Structure 1
Amino acid sequence: MSLFRTALRPSAFTARVRQYATEAPKKKSNLVPMTLAVGGLGGLAYYTYATRSGAVPVALPSALNPEEFVSFTLKKVVPYNHNSSTFIFELPPKTSSKLPVASCVVVQAAEPEALQDKKGKPVIRPYTPISSADNTGELVFLIKKYETGVMSKYIHELKPGDSLKVKGPISKFPYKENEFDEVALIGGGSGIPANTTKFKLLFSNVTEEDILMREDLDALAKKHPKHLELVYLLDKPKEGWQGPKGYISADVIKKYVAPPTAERTMVMICGPPGQVAAIAGKKAGFQQGEIGGVLKELGYTADQVFKF
């Protein structure tokens, strides 16, 4: 989905949607869409995994530590496409990540001095696992390799048996069941039956081959057509592409996302700094910063926008 960084680009909205799917809504609401802009697919990742695996949440202790880095051993690497792979790390027996909704972890090299920035400090990057928060024994990341991405290149060079240090969870946004009628996810680069929320994913990529987790997303949308709508946008589509083309623009947002005049509309965005700035204005370090970009032009206010 920033949110940290996920598979596509460091980021994500990791939602424990299975819990929501198995609980009846506490009350009906007249709420209208929440827009969630993500630069990756951390969003829906948990539900996708839980649906695929039949995982049932159990009371397991967390293998993570929010106060310090913990080393985990890489068990397996599974190539995904031309520039992305799935990295499966081992967790101690009878533990899981226990990653809360809309949170992430940060990672650094097993030997921090081996990967430093220009100031001599260890390189640290946020990522969101695609594995279930209650998945026993494994922590799974889907990571795209960027030639200018120091950490992504480092991780892609790891071999089974190597280690990576992880710290977390780091909570970003307090997602609440049925707080919104609709969630529109807008992502670039890189199941909810009993819950009344409808999810929309506007996902932009360079080519069709760059759409990570498409098979899982399409399966989810097919299974829950009333609760999940997918819109893929391509910068360089092949001949015959029927979907939208180009970047996520004002026209795209106006077409697919609830207007700022709708009650309880929330726009969440994460992704590359340039994308965040163009859509919602620059962040001010770890602070939200002033709203700007396309969303400001369309009339969205600061309390309707959250930047991961």
Structure 2
Amino acid sequence: MLRPTIRSLNRRHYSTTSQPRKNLSSLAAGFVLSVGALTSFYIFFPHESRGALTSRDKKLSSSYFTPCTVTQSEPCGPNARLITLSLPQKLLPDPEERQFSAIWSIFIKDDDIQVERPYTPLEGVDSNGQMKIWIKKYTHGEVGRWLHSKKVGDEVEIRGPLQTWLWKSDDAWDEVVMISGGTGIAPFYQLYHQIISKGVSAKTRFTLLHSSRSPSELPPPEIMQQLSLYAVENPERFRFLIYVDSDSDHGPNSNVGRVGRIDKDAVASTVMRTNTNQWWIWPFKRSVEFDIRRTLFLVCGPEPMIAAIAGPYGRNLSQGLVGGALAELGATSSQVYKL
């Protein structure tokens, strides 16, 4: 800013009216050049996702895109589809690779506008190379709308897997509380399918609190049935609680749970313990313990819900500080993870 100021002072004796116009013109020209430079940088700079190539003969990797085929696309609720993508078996990474441990995602690229978005396969990938993805279509969701337009037999490109969060079966937690909203249940269903239902880390108790706006927007019936049945058969290991903002409509899912949003009291109720050690007073009174020091909270869903439950994300989608209901309950940053 010094040079323009000095120049304007030196030239004041030449003109007192034309100089401001020249300065404005120079600023405008500089602004246009800056925008052009930034645009060119964005388009031509070799960013990992935009510059990633497509390979048809290499195993699935996060370093490049791999073509796969849409083999199923079924509507399930308003503006939602359950889509199955099939990958040739020869392109599957080895199952023992660490990067395939729950929870992991893949990126799907919209070829029309060259934009990619992450999605979590509900059951991971099976031995036939099939991945199921529950996708909602939003007004401003480019890739979701693009995927909804795809028909059986169409080809899409994916890259991954990419580790979203890694489960460590070291029994570090007595309780794991998962809180999801909308399609945010996907990573928790993957964790259920790959870890919980297989009895890994038998000492840990899992609870899933899921919220949808209405019964018709609950997860696909096959997900709801699997979780509900496992919860009934394994009450000491897994609990599944459903919340809806309103029960004004009834879709294919009739097992509507509680009307209302997941709040501090709902979360607190999952980690309360009824102490029955003093058996002689048990018939008359039960004392309730509340200790979350060995409880892990995983939260996934729309950003407003995450902010209300665990505090907003930090800069560049970092974890940020713990806030919301979990902060009020005394949870620390080591106990909270926002997916």
Q: TM-score, normalised by structure 1?
A: 0.69
What's the counterpart of residue 55 of structure 1? none
- Report the CA distance between 1:95 and its aligned residue: 5.1
Is residue 326 of structure 2 the alignment partner of residue 295 of structure 1?
yes
Residue ranges of structure 1 left out of the alignment (5+ in a row): 1-61, 116-121
Higher RCO (Cα < 8 Å, 6 or more apart): 1
Pick one of 139, 154, 163 that aligns with 1:171: 163
- Report the CA distance between 1:221 and its aligned residue: 1.8
Counterpart CA distance in 2 for 1:131 and 1:251 is: 31
Note the aligned Cα RMSD (angstroms).
2.6
Residue ranges of structure 2 left out of the alignment (5+ in a row): 1-57, 184-196, 273-288
Q: Is the 8 A contact 1:85 1:142 kept in 2?
A: yes
What's the counterpart of residue 245 of structure 1? 259
Is residue 88 of structure 2 the alignment partner of residue 81 of structure 1?
no
Distance 1:181 1:242, change over 3 A: same
Q: Which letter maps to 2:68?
A: F
Q: Which letter maps to 1:155?
A: L
As a proportion of its length, which structure holds more helix?
2
What's the counterpart of residue 200 of structure 1? 207
Q: Which letter maps to 1:295?
A: L
Pick one of 186, 189, 198 that aligns with 2:182: 189
Q: Deviations over 1:264-285 (max 9, x none)?
A: 2222212212112222122121
What's the counterpart of residue 255 of structure 1? 269
Give the percent of matched residue pairs that are identical in Structure 1 and Structure 2. Answer: 29
What's the counterpart of residue 109 of structure 2? 108
1:124-139 equivalences in 2 (<5 Å)? 124-139=116-131
Q: Deviations over 1:170-199 (max 9, x none)?
A: 113221123323222111123244623221
Other structure's SS at 2:173 match:
coil
Question: How many residues are treated as equivalent by the alignment?
Answer: 238
What's the counterpart of residue 141 of structure 1? 133
Q: Is the 8 A contact 1:192 1:224 kept in 2?
A: no
**Rg comparison, structure with higher value:** 2
Is residue 298 of structure 2 the alignment partner of residue 268 of structure 1?
yes
Distance 1:133 1:89, change over 3 A: closer
- Report the CA distance between 1:134 and its aligned residue: 3.8
Q: Is the 8 A contact 1:96 1:134 kept in 2?
A: no
- Report the CA distance between 1:144 and its aligned residue: 2.1
What's the counterpart of residue 210 of structure 1? 217
What's the counterpart of residue 27 of structure 1? none
Counterpart CA distance in 1 for 2:102 and 2:309 is: 24
- Report the CA distance between 1:138 and its aligned residue: 1.4
Counterpart CA distance in 2 for 1:134 and 1:160 is: 19
